């Protein structure tokens, strides 16, 4: 596989690993998402000044308001964080 295909496979596997904890394999609950962030993006949580910021981030991901994070919403999180970390992302 190419590097990009490998990255995509890792994203799908990561989502599936955490989403399957509560038995609903297509979505991340708030608890599953928080666990995923703690284990996979520990620097993000360390940078947060308080729990309210983390809760705001999680709420902001739930675009359809169903209190769960589906794969598309998860992908937006990863892409947004990647853009924020990349020095060539457009400045607004």
Question: Higher model confidence: residue 44 or residue 76?
Answer: 76
The tally of domains found in the chain comes to: 1
CATH label of the domain that carries residue 73: 1.10.238.10
The pLDDT value given to residue 53: 66
Q: Which domain holds residue 67?
A: 3-85
The predicted model scores a pTM of 0.77
Q: Over 70: is that where the pLDDT of 13 sits? A: yes
The DSSP result for 1-36, as a single string, is --HHHHHHHHHHHHHHHHHTTTS-TTEE-HHHHHHH
Distant-in-sequence, close-in-space partners of 75: CB < 8 Å, separation ≥ 6:
11
Instruction: Name the least confident of 23-27, 45-49, 65-69.
Output: 45-49
């Amino acid at each position: 596989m190419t590097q990009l295909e490998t990255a995509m496979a890792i994203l799908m596997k990561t989502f599936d690993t955490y989403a399957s904890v509560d038995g609903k394999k297509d979505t991340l609950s708030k608890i599953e998402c928080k666990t995923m962030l703690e284990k996979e993006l520990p620097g993000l949580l360390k940078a947060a000044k308080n729990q309210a910021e983390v809760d705001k981030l999680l709420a902001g991901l739930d675009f359809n308001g169903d209190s769960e994070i589906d794969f598309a919403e998860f992908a937006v999180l990863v892409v947004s964080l990647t853009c924020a970390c990349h020095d060539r992302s457009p400045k607004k």
